[in-house]
Amino acid sequence: MENFTITLALIVVTGLISWQSFNNFAMREKLLFEPYKMKRERDFFRFITHGFIHADMGHLLINMLVLYQFGEAIEKVFGAVFSPGVGRLMYLFMYLSAIVISSIPDYLKHQDNYAYGALGASGATSAMVFSYMLFSPWDWFMFPPMPALVFGVLYLIYSNYMSRRGGDNIGHNAHFWGAVYGLVFTLGSMAILRPEMISFFWARLMQGPQPFPGFG
């Protein structure tokens, strides 16, 4: 049990709840993010619960793969920068609050749209990716093959553009604000609790691009 991290716990819980909701329409409807109902029935628990259900197995696997890859890294870093106990609590708070914060713009936008609904942990996983990028801005992503910082800038531009364009049934707005929140939460918590880390972030940024693995 020593290696059973908060990240793995989130993956297990999300997987179990999502799996149940695949074949339980009533359960899925109860947990779904629906601003129209939330405004009128005041069931604001949906701000959290929609992050634990997914549209299908592919949607679930992608989000959980991203969470495992980047969440595990951030959980370890938080544990090292703070204490293991405090780091885990801050990591869990960042994940759960990212689900909520990334959904607020869509709540405000769609609170009178009875046809709008959303689900999935993409806002929270975007926060994990962008938190990771602060610590390793020039690490190479294998897919797409580009430095993390370059990917991050393009991701924000693309998410903002697609959110305005719409029409593809993907929560680009949640992706965008989840990513921004990951940056803000990490920078803010470090500035308050470990201000020396701001110099660390700046130094890592100033290192500049590194050669692609296997070259140079």
Question: 21-48: per-residue pLDDT in tens?
Answer: 999 999 999 999 999 999 999 999 999 9
Q: What is the structure's pLDDT at 42?
A: 95
Q: What is the structure's pLDDT at 169?
A: 66
Whose CA is closest to 125, among 148, 152, 146, 98? Answer: 98
Domains identified in the chain and CATH numbers = 6-206 (1.20.1540.10)
- For residue 216, pLDDT beyond 60: no
Question: 11-26: per-residue pLDDT in tens?
Answer: 999 999 999 999 999 9
**How many CB atoms neighbour CB 76 within 10 A?**
15
- For residue 168, pLDDT beyond 70: no
**Angle (nearest 5°) at CA 52 between 47 and 58:** 130
Question: 56-100: per-residue pLDDT in tens?
Answer: 999 999 999 999 999 999 999 999 999 999 999 999 999 999 999
> Could you give the CA distance from residue 86 to residue 95 in angstroms, rounded to a whole number?
14
How is residue 50 annotated by DSSP? G
140 bridge partner residues? 147
Q: Sort strands 140-141 and 146-147 into parallel, antiparallel or unpaired.
A: antiparallel
> Could you give the CA distance from residue 215 to residue 39 in angstroms, rounded to a whole number?
55
- For residue 123, pLDDT beyond 80: yes
Stated length of the chain? 216
The answer to whether the CB of 98 falls within 8 A of the CB of 178 is yes
> Could you give the CA distance from residue 86 to residue 127 in angstroms, rounded to a whole number?
19
